[in-house]
C-alpha cells in the first residue's frame, strides 16, 4: 500500500448556529482545507462525507454529501456517505486514506459535518438516543418508567435521552473511582485543562478558561459529572485533503503522513470500565505505525465527558490501568507537559458536532505537527508524531465505533 | 491491487413486511450468504452496511449496521455504515471490494437492508423525497402550490413526494420519445419481460407474469408510466461475502471475480435524457475489466421505472443512442436473448427496498455465473461475464450515485 499524506485541513468554529445550514458549514470547512492545501476543488477525485444526524435534524436522510458538494460546485466525482455516530468523520478519513493507499485515487476530500441544534429539541434528543440500539433504549425507558410507577411520557423519555450518553460515561467513571480510588477532582482537572486549552482556540465553541473550582461547582448532571465536564451540543464542519506521498510534495513542503488508520467496533467487553475495542484498535495502530505510546508527542482523545479522557490515557497505553489520575495530577497532559492531550480544548470545550468531531481532532494534530497551532503549540513546533482517538455510539457494552489515527511528520 | 472474489450471496424475498425488523431481515440475508459461501461468521474481518432510510422509518438514525450485526453475534470487527440512496448496497460492496483489493482485509461482509413500509406512510414519502436535495424539493413544492393558488398542505406535499422519482423518470422517457420516436409500447415491453422474469424468481416481491396489454392498461401514474412500469415500495435485505482470490479456492470451486467496481456521482448533465454519470462510470468499468459491452453475457440494470432500463441499454453501450426500442422489440434482452437483462425481474417485479437493491442485483449475477439461477438461468449456465448498474438519488439533473460492477467467472 502507498504512503498517504494530509496536505490541508480546515474547520468552522463549533457552536450553536441555528441560522446556518449544513451546506454553509461544509462549504466553509472544505474551502478552508482546500486553501490550506493549495489545491483547487477541481483536483478532488473522490469525497467521503461523514454525518450522523441530518436525517432527523434537517430531513436530508439520503445523499447528504451530494447535496453539500453540489452546492459548492463539486460534481462528477464519486461521493460516499458514511455514518458511525460520533466517529463518522474519522471513518470518512479512514476510507479516504484507504482509497489513496490502494492506488484507486490520488487526491480525495474527507468531510465531516453536523447540525445538532434544532428549534425542536426533541430531534436532537432522538439523534443522541440513536447512538444506542433504539430498541434497547425503548426497552430501558419502559423498564425505568415502570419502576417509577408511571407510564412513559414523551417528555420524560426525551429528557432521559439527552443524558443517556452521560449516564454511560458516569457509570464507567464510578467504576474507575471504585477500582482505583480516582477522585472527582481528578476528572475535574481534565476539564479545567481542556477549558483552558479551548480558551486559546478560535474554533472552540466555549472559550472560557474555567478553573478547577468552577468545574466542580457547576451544575451536577449525573454523579460524578458536572456540566463543565460534559461536551455540549454543537454544529460545525471539518475537512481534510489527502493525497499520495508523491503528489504531496507538489503542494506543500510540510506534508503530514498517515502512519496508521485503524477502525473497530465493539460488542461485549470483558471489563465495564475499559473499552476492549479502544485497546484492541490502538494496539493495532501502534503495530501499523511501528511505534509505541512513548513515541506519541501530542494527542486528541474522545472526551465526550471528562472521565473518557482520563480512562483513555490508560486504554491508549500512556500509563498503566489506574494511573490516569496521577498523569493529570502531574500535569503531564497539559500543553506544556510531556504528552499534551486535547490541546484544541477537546470535545468538552471545543465542542462536539458529532459527525464533524473526528476531522476536527485530525485538523488539530495536523496543525500541531506543522507548527501552526499558534497559542496552543506544543514542543516549540518540534512534535513529530500525533494521534487521534475518536469513539462513536454504543454496541453491546462497548463503543459502536473506534477510530485510531497516528500521524507523523 | 489484489483480485477479489465473491464466494457467497444471499437475500430475503422482497415485499411488504410490516412485522419484520431490519435485524430480522438482515440476519436472514447474511446467514444465507454465509451458508452459500460455506463461511462461519467468525471469519468475517469487516462489514460494510448499506441502508438509506432507517433514520426515518425505524428511528435508528445512527450505527445501523452495528445494531443488526450485534443481533446476530457479529462483534469486534470494523463496521462501516454507508449511504448512497438507492445505490447504498452497491456502495457497500464497492468498499468491501476495495478493502480486500488493497490487502487491508481478507474476507468481508457487504450487507444492504431496507424497510420502506411503515404504518405511517408519510415516513416512506419523506424517505423517497430525501433522494433529492430536500431544500430543492421544498422550493419546488412551494412554487407548485403557489401556482395552484393555495398554501402548501402537509398532505399534498407528501402525495407529491411519493411520485417525485417517477416524475423524473417520466420526463426522461418523454425526452426519449420525442428525440427517437420510442413508443409507450416499447417501455411496456420492458415491464412485461421483467414481470415474466419475476414470476420465475422466488425472491421477487411480485410473481405475476403481466402481459403487455396488462402493463399498458394498468393505472396511469404519470405519462407514459403506468403502475406496472414502476418499481414498488419494498422491504428486504441482501448480502455478499467477498474474499481474496487466494482464499476463495479454500471455500469454493466456483468463485466469481470482481473485474470492475466503479462508483460515480452526478451533477449537471449536458443531456436531459441520458445520465452523463452512467456513461462515464460504465466506460471506466469496461476499461478496468479490459472488455467492452459486447462481452457482457447477463445484466441487471436499474429499472426503477421501465424507461430507465431501455435508456440504460444505450447508456451502457449495448446499442447506440436511440436503439433501445429496437433491442426490446427484437427480444434480445429476454432470458433467452443474446444479452439477457434483469433476469431477476428487476426493480419493477423483484422489488426495490432501496438500500438492499444493489446487492440483490449482484446476487442475481453471481447465481447466473455459477449456473444456480434455476428457471431464470441464461445460456445454459455458460455465461462468463455479468454486469450490474445501480443508480441512486438525484444530484443536479443527473444521478446522485451510480455504481457499476462487472463480475466474471
ipTM rounded to 2 decimals: 0.95
Name beta bridge partners: A226: A220
CB contact under 8 A, B76 and A277: yes
- pLDDT given for residue B148 in this prediction: 64
- Residues counted in chain B: 409
- pLDDT given for residue A317 in this prediction: 98
User: What's the gap in Å between the CA of B237 and the closest CA on chain A?
Assistant: 18
B130 has a chain A CB within 8 A of its CB = yes
The per-residue pLDDT for range B133-144, each reduced to its tens digit, is: 999 888 877 777
Residues of A that are catalytic: 86, 352
User: What are the two backbone dihedrals, phi and then psi, of residue B302, each rounded to the nearest 5 degrees?
Assistant: -85, 85
The per-residue pLDDT for range A238-287, each reduced to its tens digit, is: 999 999 999 999 999 999 999 999 999 999 988 989 999 999 999 999 99
Q: How far is CA B135 from CA A222, A236, A339, B116, B139, in A?
A: 39, 19, 46, 22, 6
Judge residue A109's burial from the number of C-beta atoms within 10 Å of its C-beta, 0-12 exposed, 13-18 middle, 19 or more buried: buried
- pLDDT given for residue A269 in this prediction: 87
Residue ranges of B 44-63 with Cβ closer than 8 A to chain A: 46, 52-53, 55-56, 58-63
- pLDDT given for residue B59 in this prediction: 93
Q: How far is CA A392 from CA A127, A225, B376, in A?
A: 13, 19, 44
- pLDDT given for residue B18 in this prediction: 95
What integer is the mean pLDDT of A71-82?
A: 96
Please give the mean pLDDT across all residues of chain A.
Answer: 94
A287 has a chain B CB within 8 A of its CB = no
Q: How confident is the model at residue A21 (pLDDT cuts 50, 70, 90)?
A: very high
User: What's the gap in Å between the CA of B92 and the closest CA on chain A?
Assistant: 9
Residues of B in Cβ contact (< 8 Å) with A127: 61-62
| Cα gap A300→B375, rounded to integer Å | 58
CB contact under 8 A, A62 and B52: yes
Could you say which DSSP state residue A163 is in? T
Residues of B that are catalytic: 86, 352
- pLDDT given for residue A272 in this prediction: 86
What integer is the mean pLDDT of B41-64?
A: 97
Mutate to test the interface with B, among A58, A63, A266, A276 (most CBs of B within 10 A): A63
Q: Which residue of B has its CA nearest to A90?
A: B80
∠ CA A405-A407-A408 to the nearest 5 degrees? 160
CB contact under 8 A, B276 and A75: no
| B72: pLDDT strictly greater than 90 | yes
pTM: 0.96
A154 has a chain B CB within 8 A of its CB = no
Q: How confident is the model at residue A85 (pLDDT cuts 50, 70, 90)?
A: very high
Please give the mean pLDDT across all residues of chain B.
Answer: 94
Spell out the alpha helix ranges (H) of B218-356. 245-251, 276-289, 306-315, 324-329, 346-349
- pLDDT given for residue B153 in this prediction: 44
A139 has a chain B CB within 8 A of its CB = no
A101 has a chain B CB within 8 A of its CB = yes
User: What's the gap in Å between the CA of B158 and the closest CA on chain A?
Assistant: 13
The per-residue pLDDT for range B199-257, each reduced to its tens digit, is: 999 999 999 999 999 999 999 999 999 999 999 999 999 999 999 999 999 999 999 99
* Exposure b/e, B305-331, CB count within 10 A at least 16 = b: bbbbbbbbbbbbbbbebebbbebbeee
Residues sharing a CB contact under 8 Å with residue B142, sequence separation 6 or more, in sequence order:
B152
| A35: pLDDT strictly greater than 90 | yes
3-class DSSP state for residue A132?
Answer: coil
- pLDDT given for residue B162 in this prediction: 45
Q: Are B270 and B292 spatial neighbours (Cβ–Cβ below 8 Å)?
A: no
| Cα gap A252→B334, rounded to integer Å | 56
| Cα gap B198→A87, rounded to integer Å | 41
- Residues counted in chain A: 409
Q: Which of B347, B348, B316, B310 is nearest to B332 (CA)?
A: B310
Residue ranges of A 186-215 with Cβ closer than 8 A to chain B: none
CB contact under 8 A, B276 and A76: yes
| A359: pLDDT strictly greater than 80 | yes
A83 has a chain B CB within 8 A of its CB = yes
What integer is the mean pLDDT of B119-145?
A: 86
Q: Are A1 and A257 spatial neighbours (Cβ–Cβ below 8 Å)?
A: no
The per-residue pLDDT for range A124-177, each reduced to its tens digit, is: 988 988 999 999 888 877 777 776 655 444 444 434 444 678 888 999 999 999
Q: Which residue of B has its CA nearest to A266?
A: B76
- pLDDT given for residue B165 in this prediction: 83
Q: How confident is the model at residue B147 (pLDDT cuts 50, 70, 90)?
A: low
Residues sharing a CB contact under 8 Å with residue A220, sequence separation 6 or more, in sequence order:
A226, A227
CA-based torsion, A222, A224, A226, A230: positive or negative: negative
B141 has a chain A CB within 8 A of its CB = no
Q: How confident is the model at residue B149 (pLDDT cuts 50, 70, 90)?
A: low
- pLDDT given for residue A147 in this prediction: 65
Residues sharing a CB contact under 8 Å with residue B246, sequence separation 6 or more, in sequence order:
none
Q: How confident is the model at residue A349 (pLDDT cuts 50, 70, 90)?
A: very high
Share of chain B above pLDDT 70, in %: 95
Min mean pLDDT across A273-277, A339-343, B158-162 is at B158-162
What integer is the mean pLDDT of B317-341?
A: 98
- pLDDT given for residue B1 in this prediction: 87
What integer is the mean pLDDT of A212-234?
A: 96
Share of chain B above pLDDT 90, in %: 89
Q: Are A186 and A325 spatial neighbours (Cβ–Cβ below 8 Å)?
A: yes
What integer is the mean pLDDT of B331-350?
A: 98
Amino acid at each position: 500500500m502507498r504512503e498517504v499524506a494530509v496536505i490541508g485541513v480546515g474547520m468552522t468554529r463549533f457552536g450553536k448556529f441555528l441560522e446556518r445550514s449544513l451546506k454553509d458549514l461544509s462549504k466553509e470547512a472544505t474551502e478552508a482545507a482546500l486553501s490550506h492545501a493549495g489545491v483547487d476543488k477541481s483536483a478532488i477525485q473522490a469525497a467521503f462525507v461523514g454525518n450522523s444526524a441530518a436525517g432527523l435534524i434537517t430531513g436530508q436522510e439520503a445523499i447528504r454529501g451530494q447535496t453539500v458538494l453540489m452546492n459548492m460546485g463539486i460534481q462528477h466525482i464519486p461521493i460516499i456517505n458514511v455514518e458511525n455516530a460520533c466517529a463518522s468523520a474519522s471513518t470518512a478519513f479512514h476510507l479516504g486514506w484507504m482509497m489513496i493507499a490502494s492506488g484507486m485515487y490520488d487526491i480525495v476530500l474527507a468531510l465531516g459535518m453536523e447540525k445538532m441544534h434544532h428549534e425542536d429539541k426533541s430531534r436532537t434528543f432522538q439523534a443522541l438516543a440513536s447512538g444506542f440500539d433504539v430498541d434497547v433504549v425503548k426497552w430501558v425507558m419502559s423498564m425505568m418508567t415502570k419502576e417509577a410507577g408511571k407510564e412513559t411520557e414523551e417528555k420524560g423519555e426525551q429528557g432521559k435521552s439527552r443524558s443517556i450518553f452521560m449516564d454511560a460515561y458516569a457509570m464507567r467513571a464510578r467504576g474507575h473511582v471504585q477500582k482505583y480510588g480516582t477522585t472527582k477532582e481528578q476528572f475535574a482537572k481534565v476539564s479545567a485543562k481542556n477549558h483552558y486549552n479551548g480558551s486559546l482556540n478560535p474554533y472552540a465553541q466555549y472559550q472560557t478558561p474555567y478553573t478547577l473550582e468552577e468545574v466542580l461547582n457547576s451544575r451536577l448532571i449525573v454523579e460524578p459529572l458536572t456540566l463543565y465536564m460534559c461536551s455540549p451540543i454543537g454544529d460545525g464542519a471539518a475537512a481534510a485533503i489527502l493525497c499520495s506521498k508523491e503528489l504531496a510534495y507538489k503542494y506543500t513542503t510540510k506534508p503530514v503522513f498517515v502512519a496508521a488508520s485503524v477502525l473497530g467496533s465493539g460488542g461485549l467487553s470483558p471489563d465495564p470500565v475499559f473499552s476492549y475495542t479502544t485497546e484492541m484498535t490502538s494496539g493495532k495502530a501502534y503495530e501499523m505505525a511501528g511505534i509505541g505510546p512513548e513515541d506519541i508527542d501530542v494527542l486528541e482523545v474522545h472526551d465526550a465527558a471528562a472521565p473518557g479522557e482520563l480512562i483513555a490515557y490508560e486504554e491508549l497505553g500512556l500509563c498503566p490501568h489506574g494511573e490516569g489520575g496521577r498523569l493529570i495530577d502531574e500535569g503531564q497532559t497539559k500543553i506544556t507537559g510531556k504528552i499534551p492531550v486535547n490541546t484544541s480544548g477537546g470535545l468538552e470545550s471545543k465542542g462536539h458536532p458529532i459527525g464533524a468531531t473526528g476531522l476536527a481532532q485530525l485538523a488539530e494534530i495536523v496543525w500541531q505537527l506543522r507548527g501552526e497551532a499558534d497559542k496552543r503549540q506544543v514542543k516549540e513546533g518540534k512534535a513529530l508524531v500525533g494521534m487521534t482517538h475518536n469513539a462513536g455510539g454504543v454496541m453491546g457494552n462497548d463503543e459502536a465505533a473506534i477510530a485510531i489515527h497516528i500521524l507523523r511528520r
